[in-house]
Amino acid sequence: MHYVIGNGMKCYTRCDKERLLTEFHREGQHFWCKFCVKEYDHIRHEKNAVKIRAQKKARIKRIRNWYREYKSNLFCTRCTVSHPAVIEFHHVSGDKTECISIMVLAGYGIDRILEEMQKCEVVCSNCHKIEHWKES
């Protein structure tokens, strides 16, 4: 059971300490303070480290397979080369979040990767290098 004490203070039975509302996620909407959440996550991660690593590895493998399949249907917009090994994404707008290949290897969600791809032009590696040569 949690309760608001007053003056922006809140308490919850996990740690039984009075904390400022700013010490809770989402300005006090979360039941546990940030310290208790961090402690719980640490304990949970230690207990399930092997399982978590296996899940992450499987997720990255699934996303890499999706990415390879996705690239196999693309072609360079400049020279029409279509081999997936040479297809790259050139960011045409200045609001680049991350490189697409880094996002894939890091296990970003497919929706976020597709969102980032919308900012890009599909080019082969040669055309991509030529484009960056022109920029320098």
Burial 58-95 (b: 16+ CB within 10 A, else e): eeeeebeeebeebbeebbbebeeeeeeeebbbbbeeee
How confident is the model at residue 37, as a pLDDT? 85
Strand-pair partners of 123: 88
pLDDT under 70 in the chain at which residues?
A: 1-13, 27-30
How confident is the model at residue 13, as a pLDDT? 56
How confident is the model at residue 1, as a pLDDT? 47
Average pLDDT, the chain: 86
Q: Which of 24, 89, 22, 94 is nearest to 12 (CA)?
A: 24
How confident is the model at residue 105, as a pLDDT? 95
How confident is the model at residue 29, as a pLDDT? 66
How confident is the model at residue 83, as a pLDDT? 95
